[in-house]
Structures are given as structure tokens and as C-alpha cells.
Structure 1
């Protein structure tokens, strides 16, 4: 069933709830908007509550704005809702001057009576960091990305200087602070809307019926089916060129490609690598690529008895043939990973001593550890293709074969998508096939949320590894203003990971996107986020 057909059925059955348009008004959807395929189903529309997925990667940039943006080339912070900022000499106080005249979205469930101001900034961040805040415990009270960064411990206070000036006081200097405010998770909500839903006794409505200042507002959501956004005509940078965007979230794998070829979809995100030649030969579509700040890796649960032994972790690393993965999964489009950091990071350790493919050495280490062909492990695998791993199932099967070749039996546990807080099978697994897309260009954005002790406490450090020397190096790197010193600290931190092997870096992927050539203005970002406000159709 096409996205358009489902839209019509949805409007018939849910008109009273969602205020859908009449069916005949949607007959020209291609001239009014476009359909975006190849994403997962969101479980919230508030990216503060997530650590990735459709909400953080794509939806947040349409519905919400942040104080800052990141330059996709230089990775430096740029003005957004904050038009300028200053930092105190000791690096502990940041003062932001906010733009005036910015309107929040008006929807069936909220009509704003005022414009964006400093109250909204304070509300948005204090909800995350203050356990006594009336919204802190709403929708589960978990803020995974912020928790993995130790954000609550970093922020001493957030205060309103005047209606359009807000001040952040830090407990210590942090070189990544501005970059973190530009991430897709640091969105600005409406305090006025929050007050309304709190008075109504429905505080969780803030997270599933969102209100932001972005170029599009939520119009309709059918789980496992579609998300429809409508143009925010009062958008402060000018109304978007397209009236609506429909996310077809029912499509998976080859089904997505079929919908693209039949023109039920206009855009296909993260196609399977084997599909690329088919598209390349079709003149109706354009294929674009972005070298991503990403990594696919295998997390080894260091809490499990057998995996506490360093020799076993080293053996797993030695057993995996990354060249085979690159040719069979990435079809030559990826690069072999020797570190969690991608080679395009300024802190990448080019002289890494990470372990390479050596199955004979793997056999020897397993025998020394007392696991001579008698080790059985479980491998948890989310099946959703991602830019860092275009075919997780195939990757898992290749890893399974590699480990079987050295006497390690692997039982694969498949999961449709990633939900780090509710997937029980993941927490019972020995190995986890996962990955990361950077939210900004700072190396801290890879190392801290994936491997720090704070990330372990937040449930995001899938290896359950906590090394105080590693954490101390991250702290030193965040405090110093000398680039050479920061580089030294980060490379020493990478060396600890190389030696202790809590993770096995596999590959760095290229993010591909396919779209019908009538669509113009689509942008790509190394951080996965991009606004659709500039997209338009050059022909009906």
C-alpha cells in the first residue's frame, strides 16, 4: 500500500483526532510536498529522550531549532536561535544573545500567545539537568545523550539575564560545550506549551505532540506507517518551499527501493549498498554521498565472565576479517576502521596499534584463556540499515562465520530497530553490533558517549567498560585550550582503547541518499541532520 493511500485511509479513520485534510486535497501530493522513505518508527518526537534514530537524525531538524548550528565543513558553531555569544576568560560562563521575533508553531493542540524568548531556553535545558523540575521525570525521565556526556554535572546553572539574554554557568571549562549545544539533541521547546499541558494533567503530550520553532510542524503520525509534517508558515527564516513532507516509515530493505522506482517515494535514505548500481543506471534519480563522521563497531560486554579476559577480547578482534566486510557489505564504499574515531577527525590516531586480522593468533589466545573450541557467545543485531552499516544482518553473519572459524560459536539475536532502554535481549547478549554517527566534529563526541564511565551509567556504553585513566584523559582534553595538548590527550585515550579492546571497530561508512531528480535543494550533513526547508520540486 502506498504512502498516499495510507494517508487517505488515515484521514478517514482519524480525522477527528488529527484534523486531517479532505482526501481530494491530497491528490496532488507530489506538487505540494514529497515522500521520504527508509527510516524507522519513532517512539517519541522529543530528541532529548533519544540517542539516535529518525527523531534525532531527521525529524528534529524539521520541527525544532537549536541555539547554534554546525558548519558542515569547518565543524565550527554558527548562530541560530542565538545570534551571538561570549565566553568569560576562565571558560566558565557563556552568555547568549537571542534573536527576537521568532514564532512557535501553531497547531490544533496549541496556539502560542508569545514569541520565543529566554524562558524557553532555560526550560528546555533545566528539564534535562534538574531532577526537581516538573518535567524531568516525564516520559521515563531518561536523557541518554545528555547523560552520556555528563551534561548535568557540567552545568552549574542557567539564568535569564533579560528576555533575550541567557547565561550558562559551567562547573569546569569544556571545549566541546558550544558544539554540544549545536547537536540535534539540544532542541528548544516552548515553555508556554509545557505550562499548558502540565495544567491539563498531560505533561507527556510535550513529547508526542511537539511544538518547536522549526520549518515544519507535526500534522499526523501513524506508528509503523507514516509521519506527516506541514509547513510552518511563520518560520523565522522564511516559509519552506514545500507544503508538506511525508515520512514513509513502513518501508524496509528492497521494499523501499521498489517504492522509489514506482515513484511512491521521492527520497530513499541509506539504501542498501547492493542497490546502488540499480539506481546509478536510472536517469530519473540522483545519487548523492556524504563522507560520514561515523563508525560501525562490535561492542564486547566486559562484564560477562569469559569476556573479562583480555585475551578473549583480543582473539575476537583478531578473528574478524574487515576486508571481507568491506567487499561483501559495503561493496567498496566504506573504509576499514582502526579506531572509534573516523580518519577525517582531527584527533584521529594514524599510528594506532589496534589489532588486525590474524586468525592463528586468535586461536592461540583462546587456547591460552582456556577456551579451546568451547566458547559460545550471543550477538545482538539491530536489523535497520544505517549509514555506518548498510546491512547489519549480513555483517553479523560474516562475523559469526569468522568467529566460528576460530572455534567460537555465535548465536545471533535479531532486532528490528535500536531502542537502547527497552531491548532486553541486548542486555543479555555478549556482543552487540552497533555504531555511531557524530553529532558534531569534536572527538569528545565519539569517545565520551560510547566509552566513558558516564556513558556506562547512562546505559549507552554497550561494552560496560569503565576506565578511569581513559576518563581522566577526556577531562584533561576538555579543559585545555592548547590544541596540541588536546590532540595528545585524545590519542593517549585511543591507545588505552586499543590495548584494552572493549570494542572492535569495523568500518566507517559513506552516507548515500537517492532522490528523484525533480527534487532540488536537498542537503546532506556529515552529522546526519539537515533541514528540508530549502527543498523544492522543479517539475510536477
Structure 2
């Protein structure tokens, strides 16, 4: 499948462009910046080309800005590179007024001659939606997150109406449009840099050596060792207090917690839940926690004949003991999931009739579906902990035990890839999850379960339900909040009945850092900028 192939090619391209160098001396780095641990080697530096991982979760917020940003409390769009905007009465035309004097990053490979303007916005988004754009097919030509929400079909035109004004015209109203422009994927590139690469015939460098307006620029990349970001002195919000940020992405040697305790790292992202007592008892570290807009879930491959029957999926759902998973994996830090939407979502269906743990019912449903004991199934499981699942391997083993109780033998395959349909199509189930990119419920439901998302590869359940899609469309068009809530409740009812996925838990995102660091932020959407981080002592 194309997403997986694209990732491999992008990673190979990145490797070919960078020399192998030794990681920096920790003492030197700490005197001028900080070291961030707990992430793995990225497949690209362009978040438009991916749907998860280090680039989308963390790097994008350092390298790029977006037209809008999200309020971490209200989840509402706020000004970013766009200082203000207006929406036409029919909800089809969005006009954005851009900030003046915003500088692009200066690097050894690019020196901008002008500040950010509307040309850069048009360039960045037309690359995604226009097949004849010179950069459309670069790095594989797939934009999984945008494809999953049908972005290309939504946009009728993007036009610069003045150097500081850009207009988006939609084919239909979409209440999630502003929130989607505030996601980590909707980054703004330099059109001037793109033109330079086009003349040089080096189009792939747009994604491998990116240029944005963010607080840091990419300075060095050593695959499986480090990524070094340097301070962008011309950052429009003011230069960062830190000269550099180094991401330790080494896949060998000492574990992340050991690096933190030995002060080889200053920040550890997403520590495993079982490590929290060690961290909280240590006087040198501070633990931050953020209730996340996330969900861990089990996706069924509904293209599999055995799992095409909803009753079989209902039986497996009823066989999974979520309370046991919460106690053994989350150590009391998570919340049992009954829906893809977390309880904090304004569209959460508190009256959900989703099946809970009921072993007797599970056996009855399997028998009624004609499934005899002894059936064998396969499940793909990511190896790395995530905010929505602190120990995927342990979660998988508990599910394996639960299914054995109803006569299903579950074979587990561990892998470092997530939601990659090239390999997930070979499995009956995939243990995965999702971190919301904004606060709109559409951001959970459409990218994960819509028919567009199936084509894009993010809907790894391979489930396409036209009634479900129609409800999402109706919800995106109405301005009546109570009507939107009703549509989303009905959509969740369809998921409860058809069970293309099994929601397991909503996790708490933890981050630990050395007490000398201040200004670290957390967000319910996972991504956060390091522009305000400072060190109070050496």
C-alpha cells in the first residue's frame, strides 16, 4: 500500500541526504538548549505527508506555523499567521487577513528575500489538492490526513486577493473547516523556497530540508541518533530563549528512563505508566499530566469474511474486559472508553448502548453467528507506547487472554508501524489509537471511519457505511448545535451497533522534565511548541 511505501521511500531519502555524525556532548547541549527523549526516527519532516509520529506530534510545531491555532481549553480556533478572518453568510467563502512582517527561516540552504504572504498559503494548500501542482506527486503524492477528511473535494478554489489576504471557497458548508486549518497538518511552506527547488530540480528537498516560519529550523539530522533544531532569530512571536533543541531518537543503547535519570535527557515524552512512581519520587524531575483528546481502540478488518458479520464483532467486543486493561496497563490513569469520542467532547453520547464486558453474551453471539471454538485470528500491535496506550504489548496480551475464553486463538505480531494499510490488510485486527488534532468531533469520526478515510488508508477497519457518512455530512452543514449533537449521537449509535472498532480507553498524556526547565506546555491535541521553554539553572 502506498502510505507504507511512501514512508519507506521518504525515510531512505532522508538518510541519503545526511552524513553520519556523532551525537552532541550532553553538557554542551544542556548549556544552550535541552535534549528531548521518547520519540522515534521520523519518516518525513513534512506533516502533510503523514498521520502520526514525531513529525506530526512534535516537530511540526517547532518548524512551522499555521493560519490558525487552537485554544487548549475551549478548543476554539485562534489567530495564528492569520490575524483575523470572515465567513460569508452561506458558509462557503472564508477570507483570511494575514500578519505582516513574518519572516521565514534562514538556513545554509535558503535565504528568503521577502516575508510571508498570501502566495505561501496558496502554494501550501494547492500542493495538496491540485494534481497538476509541481509538488503534488513529490514524496509519493499522498496526503493521508487530508484525504481522510475529503479536503480536496471540499475546496473549490484558493486565491490570493491581496498580498495579505487569501480566500478559500468551499463546495459546501463545513463547520469543521476552521478547526481543520488549525491542525498540525495545515502547515505553511515558503513558495519562494519551492520555486528555488523547482529551478534546481531538487523538489524532494522541500520535505527533507523544510523551510517554515516556526520558532526553530532543522539544523542536523542523523537517522536513528538525533535531530537538532536551531533557534529562528526572526521568529515573529520573539526568538526562543533556547538556542537549540536536540531530539534523541537513538534506537539502541540505554532506555529512555535511564537516560532521564542519568541526565542524558532533559525531557521524556510519554513515560510508561509503570515508571511514574519512580519519576514522582525523584526530586530532580517534574511530572506534567494532560487529559488527552485521544482513544485507544481495536480495529477489525471488516474485509475479512469472518469479521464481515457484525455479530462476530459484537461478540469480541463483549469478550474484552476493559476494566482489567485499565488496572493492568494504565494503572488507574485512564478512562474506560465507550465511544471513539472522549467524555470531554461536546458531542459525546452519554446515553450510549454500546456493549460492555459480558462473557456469556459473547459466547452466545459467536454461537449464533456459526463460529465454533478453535477459530484462529491475527492482530497487529505497535511496539511503542503512546499517550492513548502506555503498553500496547501488554494490552494485546490481555485481549489475547480474553478471546481465548470464548474459544478464539489470537496470534500477535509486534511492529513499529501504525495504521499502515499495506500491512494491516494482512491482519484480522489492529491495536491502535488516535490523538485528536482539534476539538471538533468530526476529527475523530471522519478520519477513522468514513468512506474517504478507507480510500486514504486511515480507516484500517476498511468499513464504509453510507448512513454513517451521511450523518457526518449533515452535521458539518448545520449551524444548529443541538442538531449537530443529534447527528453525531446517531453516528455513534451506528458504531455501537455495527462495531467496526472496539473503543478501549482514553489515556492521560504524561511528560516529565528536569526541574531546571520552565515554559513547557502540554496540549490535549498532543502537539506543542517549545518557543517559550527556558532553563532557570545550569
Aligned residues: 523
Give the secondary structure class of the aligned counterpart of 1:43: coil
Return the alpha-carbon distance in structure 1 between the equivalents of residues 221 and 24 of structure 2: 16
CA 1:360–1:315: 2 relative to 1, 3 Å: same
Give the secondary structure class of the aligned counterpart of 1:51: coil
Report whether the alignment pairs 1:225 with 2:225: yes
Return the alpha-carbon distance in structure 1 between the equivalents of residues 175 and 473 of structure 2: 10
Counterpart in the other structure of 1:339 = 339
User: Higher mean Cα deviation, 412-421 or 128-137?
Assistant: 412-421
Instruction: Give how far 1:507 is off.
Output: 0.2
Instruction: Give how far 1:418 is off.
Output: 2.6
Counterpart in the other structure of 1:102 = 102
Counterpart in the other structure of 1:397 = 397
Instruction: Give how far 1:361 is off.
Output: 1.2
Unaligned runs of 5+ in 1: 1-13
Counterpart in the other structure of 1:286 = 286
Per-residue deviation, residues 55-84 of structure 1 (Å, max 9, x unmatched): 001000000000000000011111110000
Instruction: Give how far 1:363 is off.
Output: 1.2
Return the alpha-carbon distance in structure 1 between the equivalents of residues 393 and 414 of structure 2: 8
User: Higher mean Cα deviation, 128-137 or 505-514?
Assistant: 128-137
Summarize the alignment of residues 297-336 of structure 1 with structure 2, pairs less than 5 Å apart: 297-336=297-336
Per-residue deviation, residues 475-503 of structure 1 (Å, max 9, x unmatched): 00000000000000000000000000000
CA contact (8 A) 2:19 2:222 kept: no
Counterpart in the other structure of 1:352 = 352
CA contact (8 A) 1:18 1:219 kept: no
Counterpart in the other structure of 2:443 = 445
Instruction: Give how far 1:20 is off.
Output: 8.6
User: Higher mean Cα deviation, 244-253 or 517-526?
Assistant: 244-253
Instruction: Give how far 1:252 is off.
Output: 8.1
Return the alpha-carbon distance in structure 1 between the equivalents of residues 259 and 305 of structure 2: 47
Instruction: Give how far 1:111 is off.
Output: 1.1
Instruction: Give how far 1:197 is off.
Output: 1.1
Give the secondary structure class of the aligned counterpart of 2:255: helix
Give the secondary structure class of the aligned counterpart of 1:298: strand
Return the alpha-carbon distance in structure 1 between the equivalents of residues 233 and 525 of structure 2: 27
Return the alpha-carbon distance in structure 1 between the equivalents of residues 24 and 444 of structure 2: 46
Instruction: Give how far 1:28 is off.
Output: 2.2
Give the secondary structure class of the aligned counterpart of 2:397: helix
CA 1:23–1:291: 2 relative to 1, 3 Å: closer
Counterpart in the other structure of 2:383 = 383
Counterpart in the other structure of 2:124 = 124
Return the alpha-carbon distance in structure 1 between the equivalents of residues 485 and 253 of structure 2: 40
Return the alpha-carbon distance in structure 1 between the equivalents of residues 254 and 277 of structure 2: 14
Instruction: Give how far 1:391 is off.
Output: 0.4
CA contact (8 A) 1:340 1:505 kept: yes
CA 1:274–1:485: 2 relative to 1, 3 Å: same
CA contact (8 A) 1:90 1:173 kept: yes
Return the alpha-carbon distance in structure 2 between the equivalents of residues 451 and 83 of structure 1: 34
Counterpart in the other structure of 1:482 = 480
Summarize the alignment of residues 183-222 of structure 1 with structure 2, pairs less than 5 Å apart: 183-222=183-222
Normalising by the residue count of structure 2, what TM-score does the alignment of the two structures yield? Answer: 0.95
CA 1:445–1:277: 2 relative to 1, 3 Å: same
Instruction: Give how far 1:455 is off.
Output: 0.4
Per-residue deviation, residues 145-190 of structure 1 (Å, max 9, x unmatched): 0000000010000001011100000000100000000000000000
Return the alpha-carbon distance in structure 1 between the equivalents of residues 336 and 419 of structure 2: 27
Return the alpha-carbon distance in structure 2 between the equivalents of residues 22 and 70 of structure 1: 35
Counterpart in the other structure of 1:427 = 425
CA 1:242–1:410: 2 relative to 1, 3 Å: same
Return the alpha-carbon distance in structure 1 between the equivalents of residues 261 and 169 of structure 2: 52
CA contact (8 A) 2:118 2:164 kept: yes
Normalising by the residue count of structure 1, what TM-score does the alignment of the two structures yield? Answer: 0.95
Return the alpha-carbon distance in structure 1 between the equivalents of residues 159 and 116 of structure 2: 16
Instruction: Give how far 1:292 is off.
Output: 0.2
Counterpart in the other structure of 1:54 = 54
Counterpart in the other structure of 1:527 = 525
Per-residue deviation, residues 291-346 of structure 1 (Å, max 9, x unmatched): 00000000011110100111110111011000000000000000000000000000
Aligned alpha-carbon RMSD (Å): 1.8
CA contact (8 A) 1:37 1:269 kept: yes
CA 1:104–1:373: 2 relative to 1, 3 Å: same
Counterpart in the other structure of 2:457 = 459
Return the alpha-carbon distance in structure 1 between the equivalents of residues 21 and 219 of structure 2: 8
CA 1:287–1:22: 2 relative to 1, 3 Å: closer
CA contact (8 A) 1:322 1:357 kept: yes
Return the alpha-carbon distance in structure 1 between the equivalents of residues 209 and 293 of structure 2: 31
Return the alpha-carbon distance in structure 2 between the equivalents of residues 19 and 420 of structure 1: 28
CA contact (8 A) 1:347 1:491 kept: yes
CA 1:340–1:17: 2 relative to 1, 3 Å: closer
Summarize the alignment of residues 112-191 of structure 1 with structure 2, pairs less than 5 Å apart: 112-191=112-191
Structure 1 residue ranges, 4+ long, deviating more than 3 angstroms after superposition: 16-24, 251-254
Give the secondary structure class of the aligned counterpart of 1:95: strand
Give the secondary structure class of the aligned counterpart of 1:329: helix
Report whether the alignment pairs 1:509 with 2:482: no
Instruction: Give how far 1:417 is off.
Output: 3.4
Per-residue deviation, residues 228-286 of structure 1 (Å, max 9, x unmatched): 10000110111000000001112589810000000000000000000000011101000
Counterpart in the other structure of 1:436 = 434
Instruction: Give how far 1:419 is off.
Output: 6.1
Give the secondary structure class of the aligned counterpart of 2:61: helix
Return the alpha-carbon distance in structure 1 between the equivalents of residues 27 and 414 of structure 2: 39
Unaligned runs of 5+ in 2: 1-14
